[in-house]
Structure 1
Amino acid sequence: MTLTAEVARSQGALRTFLHGLPGVDQVGAEQRAAMLGTRSIKTSAKAQALDLAIRMVDLTTLEGSDTPGKVRALCAKAIRPDPADPTCPSAAAICVYPAMISVAAEALRGSGVHLASVATAFPSGQAPLEVKLADTRAAVADGADEIDMVIKRGAFLAGRYAEVHDEIVAVKEACGDAHLKVILETGELATLDNVRRASWLAMLAGADFIKTSTGKVQPAATLPVTLVMLEAVRDFRAATGRIVGVKPAGGIRTAKDAIKYLVMVNETAGPDWLDPDRFRFGASTLLNDLLMQRTKLATGHYAGPDYFTLD
């Protein structure tokens, strides 16, 4: 019997396993995250890091005011982030609400940029399972090849781990060939121990990625939380042989911050995760700062604040 099958056989087995995970030293995690954030990346290594970070961006718009025009413009930006520089790589994906999938799918066709959509009653997750599954199936049918789902935080915090696990399994099945990113909403989980447990729970249920946040709750992505999640995917690979990606989302706005995350990825999970298939940034404003820093390295001066489109 595999680890996944053994652990998931009952609520009791899940609880025993999750509460048997090593506890997280919060002070130690914060100190290690702060230490890794002091690493200095210069010249050619910095240029490579900026390009890698651009390739890892899920360029996101999740507002009630989203329009087809805004989504098309964002898709164009993801495909060609710097129109003046053809050497600039494309972003990893566009992430939109389900209502905008068909617009984005048409705009992205043939570009190689992925199309992600939030689903499962994002951001609260407060809907019946059949509604969440219909939401997921419709998003995939409309063209999404990545689904970002939210877990039932209330059920998780109440210790109903099997309920959360089984819902993720059902959504994963509804995804078909689309990849599933499971949003933990770490700002509502209260402790790093809960972040570790939720990470393992999502991975045991079949998540292709674990994601920190919806971006609608503060705090969103933080370095200590992402450190714990990176440790979880590293240990999960050692236990099962399966690689799961990590996506911090919300509040990552500068190239300096993005590079801190890349250093942490390399030092914690290892270089296998320095790939857009295994690490992403969920962001709306980060890309502009990455482009500004990239231009500064290439030309020696910053572009004006209106050089890149505002999103």
Structure 2
Amino acid sequence: MSASELPRNPGGPLDLDVVRAIRVNKSAAERRSATIPTRRTVKKQWQAAWLLKAITLMDLTTLSGDDTASNVRRLCAKARRPLRDDLIDALGVAELNITVGAVCVYHQWVATAVEALEGSGIPVAAVSTGFPAGLSPFKQRVEEIHESVKAGAKEIDIVITRRHVLTGDWQALYDEVKAFREACGEAHLKAILATGELATLTNVARASWVAMQAGADFIKTSTGKEGTNATLPFSLVMTRQIREYERATGYKVGYKPAGGIRTAKQALEYLMLMKEELGDRWLQPDLFRFGASSLLTDIERQLEHHVTGRYAAAHRHPMP
């Protein structure tokens, strides 16, 4: 089933009884997460295949204060052609036309990215709603979504108000995400929970459930700007809520770990987690994305090692 055929999560009424009943055993979650890097090992051509898959699941991202139009255009060129031609030929994957899952930028650069990606089929994602803190006035955050959609963004990465989670005001969180979903219209909404700032794994699980009940198309760990970003325990908790939500409603919700995922080894660990906890269907870009900027460089280095037997210097795989 393609992304266009997958029914969107419409959300539903907030069920506080379900939310308050959610509990996470921290020790058990951490023990299970610790087994993920040790349970499976992929080598040689199988590792290369998994890493090529990881490229297609990336939201190639630039969220720096010194972004310029030329930087964004170079990022989009990299998104169109993430691997050097000689590696593509050596791996025999030219016919696959490998591209990244999306390009993620601030609102200011949405139109630039849309123009640079025209005809590629690669969507533009905009971080929105007062990213990264989410503390700007509510009307302003909603208007920011409208403007990014108008500029051509097909995906909107919103940030929640953390205090709603920390104070247990689930109704306020639900109302906020629901309003953001309505503002997105046809654009897909990714709800950033800022998991490193939510204090407990139980809070992460409850926030995940509320965001999905409010209609989020994806739930996402982090902005990448927090002290603690994506981790395997956070991801385990969130993916299990996605699994339970599908069982309860029949709707599939996507997952996006972001922040701190820099190596090919880490990417493989997250792919293994998705395969084991949610199944192969969540290894497609309409249901799984990496929020990444430097990850692609390490994956390219690993693929060059597969082809040549040597590790290349990072400058042979430059990012914009």
> Considering the TM-score relative to the shorter chain, is it more than 0.5?
yes
Cα distance in structure 2, aligned partners of 1:292 and 1:112 = 26
The equivalent residue for 2:30 is 30
User: CA-to-partner distance for each residue in 1:229-263, whole Å, 9 max, x for gaps?
Assistant: 11111111011000000000000000000000101
AA at the equivalent of 1:53: A
Q: Is 2:316 the partner of 1:307?
A: yes
Cα distance in structure 2, aligned partners of 1:250 and 1:239 = 30
User: CA-to-partner distance for each residue in 1:184-213, whole Å, 9 max, x for gaps?
Assistant: 000000111011001001000000000000
> For this pair of structures, how many residues does the alignment match?
302
Q: Is 2:54 the partner of 1:53?
A: yes
Aligned residue among 241, 249, 252 for 2:250: 241
The equivalent residue for 1:105 is 114
Cα distance in structure 1, aligned partners of 2:156 and 2:319 = 26
Aligned residue among 263, 268, 273 for 1:264: 273
Mind listing any 5+ residue stretches in structure 2 that lack a counterpart? Answer: 1-9, 89-93
Q: Is 2:190 the partner of 1:181?
A: yes
Q: Is 2:217 the partner of 1:208?
A: yes
Cα distance in structure 2, aligned partners of 1:291 and 1:117 = 25
Determine helix, strand or coil for the equivalent of 2:315.
coil
The equivalent residue for 2:125 is 116
Aligned residue among 252, 277, 280 for 2:289: 280
Determine helix, strand or coil for the equivalent of 1:164.
helix
Cα distance in structure 2, aligned partners of 1:205 and 1:125 = 17
Q: How does 1:25-104 map to 2 (within 5 A)?
A: 25-38=25-38, 39-84=40-85, 85-86=87-88, 87=94, 89-104=98-113
The equivalent residue for 1:147 is 156
Query: What's the CA shift for 1:305?
Result: 2.3
User: CA-to-partner distance for each residue in 1:69-109, whole Å, 9 max, x for gaps?
Assistant: 10000010011012324437211111000001111111011
Q: Is 2:259 the partner of 1:250?
A: yes
Q: Among all aligned residue pairs of Structure 1 and Structure 2, give the percentage whose two residues are the same amino acid.
A: 48
Q: Structure 1 length as normaliser, TM-score? A: 0.94
Mind listing any 5+ residue stretches in structure 1 that lack a counterpart? Answer: none
AA at the equivalent of 1:220: N
User: CA-to-partner distance for each residue in 1:34-55, whole Å, 9 max, x for gaps?
Assistant: 1111121122321221011000
Q: Contact conserved, 2:11 with 2:216, CA < 8 A, in 1?
A: no
The change in CA–CA distance for 1:18 and 1:26 in structure 2 (over 3 A counts) is: same
The change in CA–CA distance for 1:148 and 1:4 in structure 2 (over 3 A counts) is: closer
User: CA-to-partner distance for each residue in 1:2-37, whole Å, 9 max, x for gaps?
Assistant: x954x52xxxx52x321112x211111111111111
Cα distance in structure 1, aligned partners of 2:184 and 2:139 = 14
CA RMSD of aligned residues (A): 1.4
The equivalent residue for 1:127 is 136
Query: What's the CA shift for 1:170?
Result: 1.0
Between 295-304 and 130-139, report the one with greater CA deviation.
295-304
Q: Structure 2 length as normaliser, TM-score? A: 0.91
Structure 1 residue runs of 4+, over 6 Å off? none
AA at the equivalent of 2:162: R
AA at the equivalent of 1:26: K
Aligned residue among 171, 188, 200 for 2:180: 171
User: CA-to-partner distance for each residue in 1:147-200, whole Å, 9 max, x for gaps?
Assistant: 000011112211211111111111111111111000000000011101100100
AA at the equivalent of 2:261: I
AA at the equivalent of 2:154: D
Aligned residue among 201, 215, 221 for 1:192: 201
Q: Contact conserved, 2:166 with 2:199, CA < 8 A, in 1?
A: no
The equivalent residue for 2:229 is 220
